[in-house]
Amino acid sequence: MSGVSLPLLVVIDDDESVRESLPDLLRQFGFSVAVFASAQQFITSGCADKTGGLLLDFAMPGMSGQELMAELRARGYAIPTFIITAQADDALRQRLLEEGAVECLFKPFSAAELLRALRLVFQVS
């Protein structure tokens, strides 16, 4: 870390293994992390005001990652969003980028791929 204060990243994924492993990696990169099992949990948490970035699963029960992105935009939030998905579909990736996602990573992704994506927005060493 170069002394730059990194923002709070929020991981939203219905997969427990992702919620357990991804925060550890993000903390190694220097981020503070909060974790939610659903988009609805995040919305009702009141955490959006202090969220600097979202790592958001695309396919979740209830509200999808894509729907959450639209809902946050409608509420006036401009939170950098990184979609993570098991659907390795380039057309889907392109659509999500056009809808405002910073990056779309296909699961499983490497630590290097995640770091490269985060560097698009944040000054991560």
Write the CATH number for 16. 3.40.50.2300
Query: In the β-sheet with 103-106, what is the strand arrangement from edge to edge?
Result: 32-36, 8-12, 51-57, 81-85, 103-106
Residue 39 and residue 64: Cα distance in Å, rounded?
7
d(CA 10, CA 46): 12
In a domain, residue 3? The reply is no
User: Is position 25 within any domain?
Assistant: yes
Please report the DSSP string for 34-103 in residue order. EEESSHHHHHHHT-GGGEEEEEEESS-SSS-HHHHHHHHHHTT----EEEEES---HHHHHHHHHTT-SE
Is residue 98 one of the residues assigned to a domain? Answer: yes
Residue range 41-83, pLDDT digits in tens? 999 999 999 999 999 999 999 999 999 999 999 999 999 999 9
Counting the structural domains of the chain, the total is 1
Centre a 10 Å sphere on the Cβ of residue 5 and count the other Cβ atoms it contains: 9
In a domain, 79, yes or no: yes
pLDDT at 1 over 70: no
Better-scored residue on pLDDT, 23 or 124:
23
* pLDDT at residue 105 greater than cutoff 90: yes
Per-residue pLDDT, 88: 92
Per-residue confidence at 4, pLDDT binned at 50, 70, 90? low
Residue 125 resides in a domain? no
C-beta of residue 106 within 8 angstroms of C-beta of residue 94: no
Q: Does pLDDT of 125 surpass 90?
A: no
Is 1 a domain residue?
A: no
Instruction: Write out the residue range of the structural domain in which residue 20 sits.
Output: 8-118
